[in-house]
């Protein structure tokens, strides 16, 4: 077995989650004053949400914008990397003075999702009994996550959002805000997101969850205090490799890597393909900053996404939306393809045709094509 002593490389902590005692960065926290009732039954006590804000809330609280992150995102939507924030803001080009979400005008709020691992309550957090939640963390849905975010909004004095925006998993929660709390959502931007998870999307996500659970260091989800090198890093890395293939387009991978080898050594002579090294790189990055159990919890919440559940079906649910809405998809997205955004645009009142983000990058285009996203934001905030 390789150890730090034999390799000279420090072993990774069992989890990449933010931990109490780590640098807090720009995070703030809100603790719910009562247990959170869960859609699947039961309740979750001791909930707290990490969040970040930019700008200043107007006296009448009319300028608040809610920005919701995707699966492996967090509250650090804008700003540089630094203590407490291993990566720069994932939508930094959109948020700040003079940008699409101009913080001289808007008060922007980005929470870390409930069940996440960058400061909000999740499997790596300590429960009321002083022990990690681990494998006993309950099943969550988007409705549970939005219920917690609504309590955060209440605590901040925000009765309604001028705009709610999210892509991918963040778009699922943005849609849940608009359907479940229409009176609190005045404008809505949905990016690369569906009304309900499809069979294929569930299948991709299930394979990723199985990869994590199959890791011998998974320990039923109770690995967080197992010590350096003893977390389910291999399983989480494999899940990330699988996911990343779905996040990018075939055309991009073909043009960028083709059949090229890494460092010029032919794979059939014992070398590796360059695209394999690329996937390894993204796996290693995620393992250092994320928690495997949060990945499972959030992936399963995404699989449960169905805006029409207990609301009379998708069409009836979408008719509840009163917000001025734009729906956009990425033309090369093979994970959440354009017909899903067309369904949303056709079913939501006050929404015209679906907009197309042109990108060679696949699903990740909603994060990469910031100029096009900025234009969409501008339409809703003019």
Domains located in the chain, CATH noted: 13-197+305-381 (3.40.50.1820)
Q: What is the pLDDT of residue 208?
A: 98
CA–CA dist 317, 313 (Å, integer): 6
pTM over 0.85: yes
Catalytic residue among 120, 125, 168, 332: 168
Distances (CA, A) of 163 to 101, 207, 281: 10, 34, 35
Q: Is 291 a catalytic residue?
A: no
Mean pLDDT by 10-residue block, N- to C-terminus, for the chain (382 residues)?
52 96 97 97 98 98 98 98 95 98 98 98 96 98 98 98 98 98 98 98 98 98 96 98 98 95 78 93 97 98 98 98 98 98 97 96 98 98 94
Catalytic residue among 74, 261, 363, 364: 363
Q: What are the helix (H) ranges across the chain?
A: 4-7, 142-156, 169-180, 199-213, 233-247, 250-256, 274-289, 292-303, 314-318, 338-347, 365-368, 370-381
Q: What is the pLDDT of residue 1?
A: 42
Cβ of 322: how many Cβ atoms within 10 Å?
16
Q: Which of 219, 31, 214 is nearest to 134 (CA)?
A: 219
Q: What are the helix (H) ranges across 78-232?
A: 142-156, 169-180, 199-213
Catalytic residue among 74, 144, 215, 333: 333
C-alpha dihedral (293, 295, 296, 300), degrees to nearest 10:
140
Q: Is 333 a catalytic residue?
A: yes
Q: Is 359 a catalytic residue?
A: no
């Amino acid at each position: 077995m390789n150890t730090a002593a034999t390799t000279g490389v420090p072993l990774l902590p069992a989890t990449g989650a933010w931990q109490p005692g780590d640098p807090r960065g720009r995070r703030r926290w809100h603790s719910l004053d009562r247990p959170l009732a869960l859609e699947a039954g039961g309740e979750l006590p001791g909930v707290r949400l990490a969040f970040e804000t930019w700008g200043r809330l107007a006296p009448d609280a009319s300028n608040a914008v809610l920005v919701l992150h995707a699966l492996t995102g967090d509250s650090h939507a804008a700003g540089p990397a630094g203590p407490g924030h291993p990566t720069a803001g994932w939508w930094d080009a959109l948020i700040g003075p003079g940008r699409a979400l101009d913080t001289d005008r808007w008060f922007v709020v980005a929470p870390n999702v409930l069940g996440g691992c960058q400061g909000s309550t999740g499997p790596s957090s300590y429960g009321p009994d002083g022990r990690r939640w681990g494998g006993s963390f309950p099943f969550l849905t988007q409705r549970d996550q939005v219920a917690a975010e609504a309590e955060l909004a209440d605590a901040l004095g925000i009765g309604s959002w001028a705009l709610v925006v999210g892509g991918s998993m963040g778009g699922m929660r943005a849609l849940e805000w608009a359907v479940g709390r229409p009176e609190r959502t005045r404008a809505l931007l949905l990016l690369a997101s569906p009304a309900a998870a499809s069979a294929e999307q569930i299948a991709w996500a299930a394979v990723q969850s199985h990869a994590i659970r199959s890791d011998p260091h998974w320990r039923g989800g109770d690995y967080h205090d197992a010590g350096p090198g003893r977390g389910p890093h291999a399983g989480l890395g494999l899940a990330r490799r699988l996911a990343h293939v779905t996040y990018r387009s075939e055309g991009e991978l073909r043009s960028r890597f083709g059949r090229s080898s890494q460092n010029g050594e032919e794979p059939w002579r014992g070398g590796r393909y360059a695209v394999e090294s690329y996937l390894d790189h993204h796996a290693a990055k995620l393992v250092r900053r994320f928690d495997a159990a949060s990945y499972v919890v959030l992936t399963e919440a995404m699989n449960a996404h169905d805006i029409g559940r207990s609301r009379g079906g998708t069409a009836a649910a979408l008719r509840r939306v009163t917000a001025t809405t734009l729906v956009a998809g990425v033309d090369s997205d093979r994970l959440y393809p354009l017909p899903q955004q067309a369904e949303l645009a056709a079913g939501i009142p006050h929404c015209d045709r679906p907009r197309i983000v042109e990108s060679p990058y696949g699903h990740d285009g909603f994060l990469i094509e910031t100029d096009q996203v900025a234009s969409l934001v501008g339409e809703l905030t003019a």
